[in-house]
Chains A and B, each alone.
Chain A
Amino acid sequence: MSKITELAVVVEEGRIDDVVAAVEVALEEGNAPMDILNAGLIDPINVLGEKFRLGEVYVPELLISSKAMKMGVDRIKPLLAAGDVKVLGKAVFCTVEGDMHDIGKNLVVLLLESAGFEVIDLGMDVEPDDIVEAVQENDDVQIVGMSAMLTTTMYAMKETIEALEEAGLRDRVKVLIGGAPVNQIFADQIGADGYTTNAPSAVELCKKLVVA
């Protein structure tokens, strides 16, 4: 087995303690960093993603492998030419003001990151103004994702969209919402660009939105 294939196995099995060493072994073997990145680190994640879609792999397995991949990428990054690592897109995420439910949001963020997005996670109980500020400060942000789990807090999403409008930023970003009490009708009502019921489909949606 080539050292790159061995690395791919390490990533697929989520062996975070072994991944950096496996990258180094692959480098010693004389492989190009670019090949290590693609075949050794990214390919196994794509394989897992497909298995996840088929229901063979569960979320924790996907996440731990993504973590392994990231550690590998960090090790190899200094050796790559600028522009070799492609970021799919950049997003700001949060759970809205007054809401302390962040499990769902965290999951969406984790899966987005492992799909190649860069995400600024503002945490939970986040005021509209803080979201506006984050978009203002990062002019490459394309997506704003908001999560709400309470019928009392879902209207904070509307307020945030209004705040983005007031700040003249609404057209610069796509707004994505989610959480158990919200639905497509609500998304349309408040003028959001997208809504989904789960994390994997949120990733698909983000991919579509940044291409569009």
Chain B
Amino acid sequence: MAIEGIKSYYSANKAKYTTITEEECEVIIEATLEIMETAEQIIGEKRTLEILEKAGCPVNGKKVTIPRELVLKAIETAPSSFTLYNRNGEPAMEIGGTNSYFGLGPTNPYFCDFESEERRTSVSDDTKKCMIVADALPNIDFVMSLSGSNDGPANNAEVMEMKMMLQNTTKPIIGWGNSPEGIAEIIEMCGAVAGSVEAFKEKPFVGIYVGDPVTPLTHPKDSLEKLLYCCENNIPAIYLSDSQLGTLTPVTLAGSVVVGLAEVLTGLVISQLVNEGCVYVGGVINLSVDMKPVNVCYGSPEFCLGNGACYDVLHYLNLPIWGTANITDSKFVDEQAAIEGSMTSLTSCLNGAHLIHDAGFIEGAMSAALEQIVMNNEIISYARRVREGMTINEETLALDLIRSVGAGGTFITEMHTLKNFRKVWESTLFDHTIYDPAIKPTRMYERMKQRVANILETHSPEPLDPEIVEKIENIYKASVERIGKNKKK
């Protein structure tokens, strides 16, 4: 069918697996464009409304529809890839194509305490520990705070969280904001690390999750203010839609995906109208809903399918993709967490989503656990190996070897084995030993706990220069003052 005015990158961006076909992507894209053109969306922020009206969107009070041409143009002008650096200014992630990177989740109100294993309010020290653990694990590529800072003022918790993240890992960071003021302070901190804000913007190691539309089809004031701020200041912006089957969106996956994509492409249009060519990362989480009590489900086959369809469509459009995986609804780091994490990690990785967040989360994003980061790291490693696939050539077929070892022989003493056996995936957590009455077997949970304890004891992330730390602390102090002043007003 092919869509006039849109070039398909479906094949070019095809990783190992797709959820829907190229033709199905086209049906979804056409449907999304139709919804954007015919269903009104609420734009809760005045300046955004003016920008859209000026660009030719029909406006009716706070409601707009978005002409097809505007969407096509935005798809055209938005960068299809960009680089996120590490804290030292070295390229760390090439976001685009079929590259998949995994990271932590953001700002949960509770935390599963490592010592007592009890659920309690999260504090900034949890962020610190999460950073140390994530910094040590090879398959956690980027971080988010993975715990709200409830030990400080609430209205600038994001600034406290950034302070903890910058000081405890060199990995790229995705922050969030309560307000544009908070984001400005975060960027000031990044400038302190990089030498100047300009130097930071040249090699950004932080992107900002600006917030969400309120599904269905509503874009609230605070999310838009933050989106505008990031776009205008050339800070990579992430805008994430939250589809929920049967409550916020149609209960059928296809319709749900269309609602989510319509919102995300609206964010894209806004970003490109504000600053053509600025980096914009979109994503849709498709939650199914357990209708008995009406609880959202982060782990479900529909979650994998809905998210996968959105990955395929965004690949088709050649846009940077925000993905979701590893999160569980379980209250514990248990069997459910392992199953949900495995399925979502594997599918999002095979599907080639770019920035895949939410490792470490338990209890449907309400809580998190250090053990969960360790387990997710293992799952990701496993999934990545599957995605890597196998090589078929003369060396790997090894026909001569099969002949020479012959019937009844063994390969374990062959050079070919010695040369290649380390390429076989090795677990750092699984138990493959044979039962030995002299050794008490352990559960994987105990081994994960041990791993966390080892990391906390032995791993110290590269420290920041004390002068930089002082600057960061001062920025935080000023931020707290700002919050105090706002309160008094």
Contact = CB atoms under 8 A, between A and B. Distances in A.
Interface of A: 55, 58-60, 98, 100, 102-103, 107, 124-125, 151-152, 155, 180-181, 198-200
Contact of A152 (B157, B244, B246, B292): B157
A59 B291 contact: yes
Contact of A151 (B154, B222, B244): B154
A181 B155 CA distance: 16
B246 A60 contact: yes
Interface in B287-313: 291-294
Contact of A199 (B155, B178, B244, B294): B294
Contacts of A180: 109, 366
B148 A103 contact: no
Contacts of A58: 291-292
A103 B292 contact: no
Nearest to A110: B294
Nearest to A180: B366
B148 A59 contact: no
A61 to B, nearest CB: 8
B77 interface: no
A102 B242 CA distance: 13
A127 to B, nearest CB: 14
Contacts of A151: 109, 148, 150, 154, 157
A103 B248 contact: yes
A102 B216 CA distance: 12
A55 B291 CA distance: 10
Contacts of B155: 152
B83 interface: no
Contact of A100 (B109, B214, B294, B366): B214
Contact of B154 (A60, A125, A155): A155
Given A55-B292, A155-B154, 10 more contacts: A58-B291, A59-B292, A59-B294, A98-B222, A103-B247, A124-B214, A125-B220, A152-B157, A180-B366, A181-B109
14 contacts: A58-B291, A59-B291, A59-B293, A59-B294, A103-B244, A103-B247, A103-B294, A151-B109, A151-B154, A151-B157, A152-B155, A152-B157, A152-B178, A200-B293
Contacts of A55: 292
A181 B110 CA distance: 9
A103 B291 CA distance: 13
Interface on chain A toward B: helix, strand, loop, or mixed SS? loop
The winner among B148, B292, B294 for most chain A CB atoms within 10 A is: B294
Nearest to A52: B292
A152 B154 contact: yes
Closest 8 CB pairs of A and B: A58-B291, A152-B154, A100-B214, A59-B294, A181-B109, A151-B109, A58-B292, A59-B291
Contact of B220 (A100, A103, A152, A181): A100
Interface in B347-393: 366
A151 B155 CA distance: 9
Nearest to B110: A181
B294 A107 contact: yes
Nearest to A106: B247
Contacts of B246: 60
A177 B148 CA distance: 22
Contacts of B150: 151
A103 B214 CA distance: 10
Contacts of B220: 100, 125
B41 to A, nearest CB: 15
Contacts of A59: 291-294
Contacts of A181: 109
Nearest to B215: A103
Interface in B216-230: 220, 222
Nearest to B294: A59
A199 B109 CA distance: 21
A193 to B, nearest CB: 24
A89 to B, nearest CB: 23
Interface string B66-94: 00000000000000000000000000000
Contact of B291 (A60, A98, A100, A198): A60
B361 to A, nearest CB: 14
A180 B247 CA distance: 18
A180 B293 CA distance: 14
Nearest to A152: B154
Nearest to B178: A152
A55 B248 CA distance: 23
Interface string B233-265: 000000000001011100000000000000000
Nearest to B211: A100
B436 to A, nearest CB: 45
Q: Which one of A55, A103, A151 has the highest number of Cβ atoms from chain B below 10 Å of its Cβ?
A: A151
A122 to B, nearest CB: 16
